[in-house]
A and B are shown apart, each in its own frame.
Chain A
Amino acid sequence: MAKKVNKETLDNVTIRFAGDSGDGMQLSGGRFTQTAAIVGNDLSTLPDFPAEIRAPAGSLAGVSSFQIHFSSQEIHTPGEKPDVLVAMNPAALKVHLKELKAGGTLIINKNAFNPKNLKLAGYETDPTEDGTLDDYYQAHFIEMSKLVTLACEGIELSPKLVERTKNLCALGVLFWIYDRPLEPTIDWLKNKFKNKPEIIEANTNALNAGYNYGETAELFTTRYVVEKAKLPAGRYRNMNGTLATCLGLLAAVEKSKMSLTFAGYPITPASNILHTLSNWKKFGIKTFQAEDEIAGIGAALGASFGGSLGVTASSGPGIALKGEFLGLTLITELPVVIINVQRGGPSTGLPTKTEQSDLFQAVYGRNGDAPTPVVAATTPGDCFVTTYEACRIAVKYMTPIIVLTDGYLANGSEPWMIPDSKDLNDFDVSFEKGSETDEKHQPYKRNKDTLARNWAIPGTKGLEHRIGGIEKEDGSGNVSYDSDNHEHMTYTRAQKVANIANEIPPTQVYGKEKGDLLILSWGSTHGSCKVATEKLLTEDYKVGHVSLKWINPFPSDLGKILLNYKKVIIPEINRGQLRYLIRAEYLIDAIGLNEIKGKPIGASTIVNKCKEILDG
């Protein structure tokens, strides 16, 4: 007799896949994401890895997770407390259970709850046996290891490899619950394991086994439907911040017709930029794995001196090492793009967790009076245009520029409306032309509008000149120890950066243009602040939201906008670095909301704090 299944429609759902590092949770999450994208949901994801590559199996330190928030409406964050927690072993349950919503769904791999794993996770009694879970959650204990073993009978594969397919089994269960197609995942498997038919078969069987379990097991009585989201019309793809950053660089190459030289040193979470670009040589992108962080920016600067756009990427500790070269790039007025994928600091800090604490480092982290443009991406997809614009402005203004992203943006993803390359700002490059005359070349002759100096590259006849880190005489570029010239150059370099404000489009205010409270965010806190603003607006609070991308220089209209509100709150994942800058620049007593827990600040935290301010 067929069992009776209800169908219920939901607006949005947050699922967290959690398991041991070796359990393939990133893969399950990634496949669920791709399917949600194909189904047409809006979505946002947040992977979370342990810092250790191979922490002991079953240990708390080895738990890896992937959260996806998907919806039939527009969403901006990966969600806070999950509705569903998939726990592949006791350690995963231990680490993540406290965040599962009360009454939420638990999907547990029962076979992993053996005495050894329970002990590793610090459980004295088995929570799947002692009844503690059933009181609070809809708990489903599924013998996934056993299911996949049965499903893969007859396939010539070691038991160990069969066991590994249990992440697909868990995925199958979720696909059944949320009524999702299996084909995209099966196609993906076929493509990924082209020459390994037994792996394709085993994984497909495991996926089906999970799906069929949902279909037949009496436990599940409800399926949920999350409809297509009504996103703005266009063609979409799922986009993460790393790929978006790399595409931004590629766009710079294609639009400017320049070559690009990327030099970097391996560091979490920035290395994937190096990996991706290394595959794009056919576009004229050269990549160089340098011997250290210093060499990374040094080679990028050397390339820029030679007329190729130099780019380097790192994370806080690596950026610290690049500091001296940032100063040299600045004084020699050559374009270099420095991408900082921020992570928890100081020092090694929390390498795999996100944070926004390198803002001071970006704005101030150099010796001398060394103004450097700083721009931050706000969402994973936004890394594309942010990086593109950074390249364009670096070249137009002949300056180093720092692009701030972070671990969450780099690894997180969202549906991204694919732009048309024609809609990007034009990217002109003009190297100075050779001369046969005896007139002396003036390497520091400036464009009157931007104050950018000329770019004369080696190989050009008649323009031979020397540059370096010693102060330059404006115009001639000769070494100069003259005090008046030094002061003039100090102000000129600052004015050049200030002039970039002319490139910044008018600031968009979301919500009330004037009101009681402005929520001012920068970088990746954009999403939570937007959601918080939406919520406060529906409750008739007079709030607005400004999402800041440019931090040096600030947009020229920002000062005015700040005055349109009685109060300003700045949520950031640090102790208040933007707040400090805003206070210093605009003498506004901005209020901080600072949560530094290695993950995005939840929208509800922001809503609560705003209410406290507005109701108080």
Chain B
Amino acid sequence: MPRLTADRHHRVRFTLNGRPVEGDAEPRMLLTDFLRHVLGQTGTHVGCEHGVCGACTVEIDGAPARACLMLAVQADGMTLRTVEGLAPEPGRLSVLQDAFRRHHALQCGFCTPGILMSLDIYLRGHASPTEAEVRDFLSGHLCRCTGYVPVVAAALDAAAKLREAAGDA
């Protein structure tokens, strides 16, 4: 592959929430800044910018990842999902989002996009998690408002609703 030089912008293309997107980035541009400033997708939040808080968590090739710990050029060719891709249609929340609303699992909402992305991925692979497993998984996210109790309740509730839906199908 050719060398992407430091002083130029380079074309970056990937799939975002099912659609092909592209934009220009210097090699040093973080994926968070590319999503927010180049693509205008501001649902992904930026807290600590060094991997600790989890606010910037997105899905990359099926797994959760800190967008602030990735360069935009690294994401070239990959498949990404962000919080903008969770709702099935405008005006309708996903099962997980709806559980967050009902359980008051967000207050200021700063941490919420990252937590939603993490849990959305987790519940796909773990249909019946225990409370302890959810808490262990949530250790990768900081929330200064909720005290986590409603977040855990929402996650367990969403898991139950998703199991029901799968059983009906």
**Are A and B a genuine interacting pair, yes or no?**
no
Where the two chains meet, the residues of B that have a C-beta atom closer than 8 Å to any C-beta of A are: none
Query: Which of A's residues lie within 8 Å of B, judged by CB?
Result: none
